[in-house]
C-alpha cells in the first residue's frame, strides 16, 4: 500500500511540474503528450508491479501459515518416528481378524441342578448352572471384513463339562457388505434374528443366565444353519424385515430328511423418543417340521445319559410367535453416568407330534398337541459409574393335549411326568442382580434367583451366583 | 370441469408434486451422516445447500460410548457419505452400524467413508498398547478437531471427497472450501493473537480430549482427573491430583460438556482453581454454534479463566 502512495506522489509531482512553462508551442504540446504517455505508462507499470507485489505478500503469508502447520507436523512426526519404527510398514499380521476373548467364571450355590419344567420337553442347551466353582462359556470370537464384499465371523465356546473340555461352535457365518439398497445376506451357522436376545451372545446379557422362556421354548437360543436375508426400509423410522431359510434340525425342531425345513420371519422397528430415550419393537415367527426330536436338555452334568429312557417326538411340527420390546434411557443420551434399560419378550409356541417313550421293555405312545407361552420382563439401572442393579421376572405356561394314549407298561401319570409333557404347574422365577464394571472390559456380578418349577410339592430352587466376565482383545461392538 | 373431476385431480397432482420433490436432486441431494457435531458443522460449511446433514451424537454424548440405535441405522441406510473421527473413537458402534445399514456406499474403503483423524498426524500415538493403561487406542488421540491447522487439512480432504462422491457439484464444494479456507486463516490469526497470553500456562484436564487444543496454544497439562484414559476418576487418584496442583499451581481445570463435573468440582473446591467448562464441540454451550464460534468461545473461556486464577470460582 505504501508503495502505491509513493508512486502516486511521484506521478502527481511530475504532472504538476509539467505545465509550469508559460508558453506552450505545438512542439511543446507534442512533447507534453509524449511525456504524458510516458508518465501514464510509468504509472501503469508501477500499479501492476505493486499489485504483483501485494499478491506475493499475501501468498507468502498463506504459505507461511501452511509451512508452520507443516513444520509442526514434521516435528511431531520426527518426535514419533523413533518410537514407531513400524509406522507405514505393512506386516502380514495387520490383516489378522479382530480377536476377542471372553473369560467367564462362576461360583454357584444351587439347591437342584437338574432343570425340569412341567409341560416343556427341554432341548438344546437348556439347563441350570453347576453347583460350586465352574467356568462358563469362555468364548473366542474372530471377525473381519473379508474383502469389500463380505464380512465373516467365527465364534466358539470353550466349556468344561462332566470333566471334559469341549469346543462348541456357536456361530460361523459370512455376511454381505456391498449389496446396497438396504439388503444384507447372511449365510452359515448363526443365531436366528428372531426375538431380541436370541442373537445376543450370553456374555452380553444383563443376567448370568438366560430368560426361562428362552430355555424352555428355544433351548437357550435358536441356533441353526442356513441363509438370512434382511432388508432395511429407506425410511427415517427404523424398519427392518428379515427372513431365514434354516436347516430346521435344531431345537425346538429336530432331525428331518431334507435338512432344510426351518423358516422364520422377523420385523423390527424403533426410534428415538427424545435425546434421552429410544425404543425398539420386534415381532417374529418361526416354523419347522421334523421327523425326530430327542427330548432332554443339554445338562451340564450329564443328566441325559443317566436316565436310560428314550424320549422322542416323531413326525412333528412346531410354530413359534414372538413379540419383543426394549426401551433405553440415559440423561441426554449419555449412558456413562446413569442409564436405564427395560426389556420384555413374549413367545408363544404351538407344536404337535407323536410322542414316544421307551424305558427298557416298557413303552408309551400318544399324540401330543401343545400350546405353551412364556415371557420375561427385566429392568437394569446403572445408578452410578461402574455399578448396576437389575431385576427380572420370568413366567411360563403350558397347555398340552395328550390323546390316543397307548400304554405299553407305563401308566399315563408316569408318562406325563417323565416325558416332560404333563402341564401340572406354571414355572416362574424372580431374579435380582448387582454388577460392578471396573472398566469397559471387566464385570463382576452377583445374582440371586428363586425358581419355582411348578412341580407339585417341589421347593423353590434358590440360586446364588458370583460371576466374572472379562473381555480381552478387540472392542466387541454390541447391538442395541 | 365438474366438481367431481377436481376432487381426484388434487390428490393426483399432490402425489406428482411429492414425487418430483423426492426425485429433484437440485437441493440438498447428498445426505451426509456425521458421527460428531464438529464434522456435521464442517459438512455444512463445505456442502452448503447441496447437502443434508445428520448428526449421530450431540455435545452431551461421549462419542466413544453410544450405541448403534435404530434411529442411527435408519439414517446410515440412506447416507451418501459418512464423516466420522475414526482412530477407533467410534469402534464400539460404527462397525456394527455400517454392517446393519445395508448401505454399500459408506462401507470402509468406499469414497463415501471419510475418517477425519486419518487425514492428519495424531498425538499420543502409543507403541505398546495394553489395556492396563486404560481405554487407549493404538491409533493415537482421536480428538483432532480442536487444532485449527489440522482442521483445515481435514476440510481440504473432505471437500475433495465430497467432489469425488458428488462430481456434479464439485465446483461448489471446491469454491466453498476456498471461502472457508480464507475465513478460517483470518480467524486463526485472530485467535492466536488473542491467545498469546495463554502460552505456557498450565491446566488440569478431565480426559485427554483437549490435547490438540493445548498443543496448538502451547499450554501444558499437569494432571488428568482420569487415572487412566477412559476410566472414571477415583478418590485416591483425585487426592494425588490435589498434591500435584499444590506443587504445580495450574491456572484452571478444563472439563468438556459430556463429563460428570463432580470430580472436577471436588478439586476446584479444594484448590481454588477456576473450573472451565469448554464446549468441546458444536452445541457444547450456547455460543458454540459453528466451527468459528466454537473456537472463539473456547479461547475466550480460557482467557477468562486465566484472568480469574487465584480467585474462588463458584
The partner residue sitting opposite A272, judged by closest CB among B69, B102, B110, is B69
Extended beta strands in A28-182, E state: 98-110, 132-135, 138-145, 150-161, 164-176
B278: which residues sit within 8 A by CB, 6+ positions away? Answer: B210, B213, B254, B255, B256, B257, B284, B298, B301, B302
Q: For residue A372, what is its C-alpha cell?
A: 405353551
Task: Kindly state the average pLDDT of the residues B120-126.
Answer: 90
Q: What is the pLDDT of residue B244?
A: 92
Average pLDDT over residues A255-281: 96
Neighbours of A87 (CB within 10 A): 11
pLDDT of residue B228: 86
Q: Do A334 and B149 touch (CB under 8 A)?
A: no
Q: Which residues of A touch B77 (CB under 8 A)?
A: 182, 232-234
The grid cell for A224 is 441353526
Query: Residue B110: phi, psi to the nearest 5?
Result: -85, 155
Residues A160 and A209 grouped into a single domain: yes
Whether A49 and A142 share a structural domain: no
Among A228, A207, A211, A231, smallest CA distance to A219 is for A211
Measured between CA atoms, the residue of chain A closest to residue B67 is: A480
What's residue A15's pLDDT? Answer: 47
Please indicate, yes or no, whether residues A108 and A233 belong to a single structural domain of this protein. Answer: yes
Same domain, A359 and A223: yes
Strands A362-384 and A387-408: antiparallel
| Burial (Cβ within 10 Å: 0-12, 13-18, ≥19) of residue A203 | buried
Could you give the 3-state DSSP secondary structure of residue A402?
A: strand
- Computed over every residue of chain A, the mean pLDDT equals 86
Edge-to-edge strand list for the sheet holding B252-256? B220-224, B202-205, B252-256, B275-278
DSSP reduced 3-state for A67: helix
Alpha-carbon distance of B247 to B225, in angstroms, equals: 16
What architecture (CATH level 2) is domain B29-191?
A: 3-Layer(aba) Sandwich (3.40)
- In chain A, residues with a C-beta closer than 8 Å to the C-beta of B33 are none
**Same CATH topology for B29-191 and B198-308?**
yes
**Residue A25 domain flag:** no
Q: What is the dotted CATH code of the domain comprising B198-308?
A: 3.40.50.1980
Residue A340 lies in a domain: yes
pLDDT at A456: 85
Set of cell numbers at residue B166: 458428488
DSSP per residue over B222-291, as a string? Answer: EEESSSSTTSPP-HHHHHHHHHHHHHH--SEEEEETTS-SHHHHHHHHHH-PPEEEE--STTSSSS--SH
Q: How many whole angstroms separate alpha carbon A115 and alpha carbon A136?
A: 17
**Grid coordinates belonging to B219:** 499450554
The chain B residue lying nearest A473, using CA atoms, is B131
Q: What is the pLDDT of residues B193-202, one digit of tens each?
A: 999 999 999 9
Higher-scoring residue by pLDDT: A449, A56: A449
Strand order in the sheet with B30-34: B51-55, B30-34, B81-84, B113-115
Q: What is the pLDDT of residue A2?
A: 52
Q: Is residue A479 part of a domain?
A: no
Considering the domain architecture, whether residues A467 and A426 belong to the same structural domain is answered as yes
A75 or B222: which leads in pLDDT: B222
Residue A304, C-beta contacts closer than 8 angstroms, at least 6 positions apart = A296, A297, A298
Residue A418 has pLDDT above 80, yes or no: yes
The number of beta carbons lying within 10 Å of the beta carbon of residue B220 is 15
The DSSP string of A166-184 is EEEEEEEEEEESS--TTEE
Q: How many residues does chain A have?
A: 480
User: Would you call A186 exposed, middle or buried from its count of C-beta atoms within 10 A (0-12, 13-18, 19+)?
Assistant: buried
Are A318 and A444 members of one domain?
Answer: yes
- The pLDDT assigned to A82 comes to 39
B66, B74, B103 member nearest A238 (Cβ) = B74
Pairing of strands B202-205, B252-256: parallel
Distance (Å) from the C-alpha of residue A139 to the closest C-alpha of chain B? 19
Length of chain B: 314
B246 CA: distance to closest CA in chain A (Å): 28
Cell numbers describing residue B180: 472457508
Nearest-Cα residue of chain A relative to residue B71: A271
Q: CB under 8 Å to A254, separation ≥6 — which residues?
A: A123, A290, A291, A292, A293, A294, A313, A316
Residues linked to residue A183 through DSSP beta bridges, in sequence order: A231
Is B218 part of the contact surface with chain A (CB cutoff 8 Å)?
Answer: no
**Percentage of residues of chain A with pLDDT beyond 70:** 81
Alpha-carbon span B269 to B280, nearest angstrom: 23
Angle among Cα A189, A216, A398 to the nearest 5 degrees reads 140
Instruction: Please tell me whether residue B142 adopts helix, strand or coil conformation.
Output: coil
pLDDT of B1 strictly over 70: no
Closest CA to B81 of B171, B173, B169, B165: B165
Residue A87 falls within a domain, yes or no?
no
Mutation target among B97, B102, B212, B234 for the A interface, most CBs of A within 10 A: B102
Residues A165 and A69 in one domain: no
Chain A contact set for B193 (CB, 8 A): none
| Geometric angle at alpha carbon A290, from A289 and A296, rounded to 5° | 125
**What letters, b where the CB count within 10 A reaches 16 and e where it falls short, cover B194-215?**
bbeebeebbbbbbbbbbbbbbb
What are the extents of the domains in chain B?
Answer: 29-191, 198-308
Portion of chain B with pLDDT greater than 90, in percent? 71
Q: Three-class SS of residue B78?
A: coil
Domain that holds residue A435: 103-473
Kindly state whether residues A66 and A151 are assigned to the same domain.
no
- Residues 239..268 of B with a Cβ closer than 8 Å to A: which? 258, 260
pLDDT of residue A78: 47
CA distances from B201 to A121, A228, B263, B298 (A): 72, 59, 22, 15
pLDDT tens digit string along A9-65?
544 444 444 444 444 566 667 777 777 777 777 777 777 676 766 666 666 666 666
pLDDT in tens, A152-211: 999 999 998 878 999 999 999 999 998 999 999 999 999 999 999 999 999 999 999 999
Together in a domain, A109 and A68: no
Q: Is residue A89 part of a domain?
A: no
Per-residue confidence (pLDDT) for residue A192, from 0 to 100? 98
Model pLDDT, residue A80: 44
Of A403, A402, A407, nearest in space to A423 by CA: A402
CB A101 within 8 A of CB A139: yes
Chain B closest-CA separation from residue A119 CA (Å): 37
Looking at the fold, whether A75 and A108 belong to one and the same domain comes out as: no
Asked if the structure places residue A421 within a domain, the reply is: yes
How confident is the model over B37-57, as a mean pLDDT?
97
Q: Are residues A327 and A456 in the same domain?
A: yes
Our count of domains for chain A comes to 2
In a domain, A88, yes or no: no
Q: Looking at beta carbons, which residues of chain B come within 8 Å of A241?
A: none
| Residues of chain A found within 8 Å of residue B65, distances taken between Cβ atoms | 334-336, 440
- Omega of the bond prior to B81 within 30 degrees of 0, cis? no
Q: What is the CATH number of the domain that holds A405?
A: 2.40.160.10
pLDDT at position A245:
97
Rounded CA-CA distance B107/B99 in Å is 8
Instruction: Kindly provide the residue ranges of all beta strands, DSSP E only, lying in A20-97, ordered along the sequence.
Output: none
Q: Could you tell me if A52 and A157 lie in one domain?
A: no
Query: Burial level of B52, CB count in 10 A (0-12/13-18/19+)?
Result: middle
Could you report the per-residue pLDDT of A70-94, keeping only the tens digit for each?
A: 666 555 544 444 333 344 444 566 6
Looking at beta carbons, which residues of chain B come within 8 Å of A231? 102
Amino acid at each position: 500500500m505504501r508503495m502505491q502512495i509513493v508512486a502516486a506522489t511521484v506521478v502527481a509531482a511530475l504532472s504538476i511540474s509539467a505545465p509550469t512553462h508559460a508558453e506552450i508551442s505545438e512542439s511543446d504540446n507534442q512533447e507534453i503528450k509524449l511525456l504524458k504517455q510516458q508518465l501514464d505508462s510509468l504509472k501503469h507499470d508501477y500499479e501492476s508491479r505493486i499489485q504483483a507485489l501485494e499478491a506475493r505478500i499475501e501468498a507468502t503469508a498463506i504459505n507461511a501459515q501452511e509451512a508452520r502447520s507443516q513444520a509442526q507436523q514434521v516435528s511431531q512426526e520426527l518426535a514419533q518416528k523413533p518410537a514407531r519404527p513400524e509406522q507405514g510398514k505393512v506386516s502380514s499380521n495387520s490383516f489378522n481378524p479382530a480377536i476377542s476373548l471372553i473369560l467367564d467364571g462362576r461360583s454357584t450355590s444351587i439347591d437342584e441342578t437338574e432343570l425340569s419344567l412341567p409341560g416343556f420337553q427341554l432341548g438344546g442347551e437348556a439347563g441350570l448352572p453347576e453347583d460350586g466353582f465352574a467356568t462358563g462359556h469362555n468364548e473366542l470370537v474372530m471377525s473381519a471384513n473379508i474383502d469389500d464384499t463380505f464380512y465373516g465371523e467365527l465364534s466358539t465356546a470353550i466349556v468344561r463339562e462332566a470333566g471334559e473340555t469341549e469346543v462348541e461352535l456357536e456361530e460361523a457365518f459370512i455376511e454381505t457388505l456391498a449389496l446396497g439398497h438396504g439388503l444384507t445376506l447372511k449365510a452359515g451357522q448363526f443365531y436366528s434374528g428372531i426375538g431380541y436376545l436370541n442373537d445376543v451372545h450370553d456374555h452380553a446379557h444383563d443376567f448370568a443366565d438366560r430368560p426361562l422362556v428362552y430355555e424352555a421354548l428355544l433351548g437357550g437360543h435358536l441356533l441353526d444353519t442356513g441363509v438370512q436375508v434382511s432388508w432395511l426400509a429407506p425410511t427415517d423410522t427404523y424398519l427392518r424385515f428379515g427372513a431365514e431359510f434354516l436347516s430346521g434340525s435344531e431345537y425346538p425342531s429336530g432331525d428331518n430328511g431334507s435338512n432344510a425345513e426351518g423358516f422364520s420371519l422377523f420385523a423390527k422397528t424403533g426410534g428415538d423418543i427424545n435425546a434421552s430415550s429410544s425404543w425398539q419393537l420386534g415381532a417374529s415367527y418361526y416354523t419347522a417340521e421334523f421327523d425326530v426330536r430327542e427330548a432332554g436338555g443339554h445338562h451340564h452334568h450329564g443328566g441325559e445319559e443317566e436316565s436310560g429312557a428314550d424320549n422322542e417326538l416323531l413326525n412333528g411340527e412346531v410354530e413359534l410367535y414372538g413379540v419383543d420390546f426394549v426401551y433405553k434411557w440415559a440423561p441426554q443420551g449419555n449412558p456413562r453416568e446413569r442409564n436405564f434399560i427395560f426389556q420384555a419378550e413374549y413367545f408363544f409356541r404351538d407344536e404337535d407330534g407323536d410322542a414316544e417313550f421307551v424305558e427298557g421293555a416298557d413303552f408309551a405312545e400318544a399324540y401330543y398337541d401343545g400350546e405353551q407361552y412364556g415371557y420375561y420382563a427385566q429392568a437394569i439401572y446403572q445408578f452410578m459409574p461402574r455399578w448396576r442393579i437389575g431385576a427380572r421376572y420370568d413366567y411360563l405356561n403350558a397347555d398340552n393335549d395328550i390323546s390316543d394314549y397307548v400304554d405299553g407298561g407305563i401308566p399315563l401319570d408316569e408318562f406325563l411326568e417323565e416325558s416332560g409333557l404333563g402341564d401340572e404347574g406354571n414355572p416362574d422365577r424372580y431374579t435380582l442382580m448387582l454388577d460392578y464394571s471396573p472398566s469397559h472390559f471387566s464385570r463382576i456380578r452377583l445374582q440371586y434367583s428363586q425358581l419355582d418349577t411348578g412341580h407339585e410339592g417341589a421347593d423353590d430352587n434358590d440360586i446364588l451366583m458370583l460371576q466374572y466376565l472379562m473381555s480381552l482383545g478387540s472392542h466387541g461392538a454390541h447391538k442395541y | 370441469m365438474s366438481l367431481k373431476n377436481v376432487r381426484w385431480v388434487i390428490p393426483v397432482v399432490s402425489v406428482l408434486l411429492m414425487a418430483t420433490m423426492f426425485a429433484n436432486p437440485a437441493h440438498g441431494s447428498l445426505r451426509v451422516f456425521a458421527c460428531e457435531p464438529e464434522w456435521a458443522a464442517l459438512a455444512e460449511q463445505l456442502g452448503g445447500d447441496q447437502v443434508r446433514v445428520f448428526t449421530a451424537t450431540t455435545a452431551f454424548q461421549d462419542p466413544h460410548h453410544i450405541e448403534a440405535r435404530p434411529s442411527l441405522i435408519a439414517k446410515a441406510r440412506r447416507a451418501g457419505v459418512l464423516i466420522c473421527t475414526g482412530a477407533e473413537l467410534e469402534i464400539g458402534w460404527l462397525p456394527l452400524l455400517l454392517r446393519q445399514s445395508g448401505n454399500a456406499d459408506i462401507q470402509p474403503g468406499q469414497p463415501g467413508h471419510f475418517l477425519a483423524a486419518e487425514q492428519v498426524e495424531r498425538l499420543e500415538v502409543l507403541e505398546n498398547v495394553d489395556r492396563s493403561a486404560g481405554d487407549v487406542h493404538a491409533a493415537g488421540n482421536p480428538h483432532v478437531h480442536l487444532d485449527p491447522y489440522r482442521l483445515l487439512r481435514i476440510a481440504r480432504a473432505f471437500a475433495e471427497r465430497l467432489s469425488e462422491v458428488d462430481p456434479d457439484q464439485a465446483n461448489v464444494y471446491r469454491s466453498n472450501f476456498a471461502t472457508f479456507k480464507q475465513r478460517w486463516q483470518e480467524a486463526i490469526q485472530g485467535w492466536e493473537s488473542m491467545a498469546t497470553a495463554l502460552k505456557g500456562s498450565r491446566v488440569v484436564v478431565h480426559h485427554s480430549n483437549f490435547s490438540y487444543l493445548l498443543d496448538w496454544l502451547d499450554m501444558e497439562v499437569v494432571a488428568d482427573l482420569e487415572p487412566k484414559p477412559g476410566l472414571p476418576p477415583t478418590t485416591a487418584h483425585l487426592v494425588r491430583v490435589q498434591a500435584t496442583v499444590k506443587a504445580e499451581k495450574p491456572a484452571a481445570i478444563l472439563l468438556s460438556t459430556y463429563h460428570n463435573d463432580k470430580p472436577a468440582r471436588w478439586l476446584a473446591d479444594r484448590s481454588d482453581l477456576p473450573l472451565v467448562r469448554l464446549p468441546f464441540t458444536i452445541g457444547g454451550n450456547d455460543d458454540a454454534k459453528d466451527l468459528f464460534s466454537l473456537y472463539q468461545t473456547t479461547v475466550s473461556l480460557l482467557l477468562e479463566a486465566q484472568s480469574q486464577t487465584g480467585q474462588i470460582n463458584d
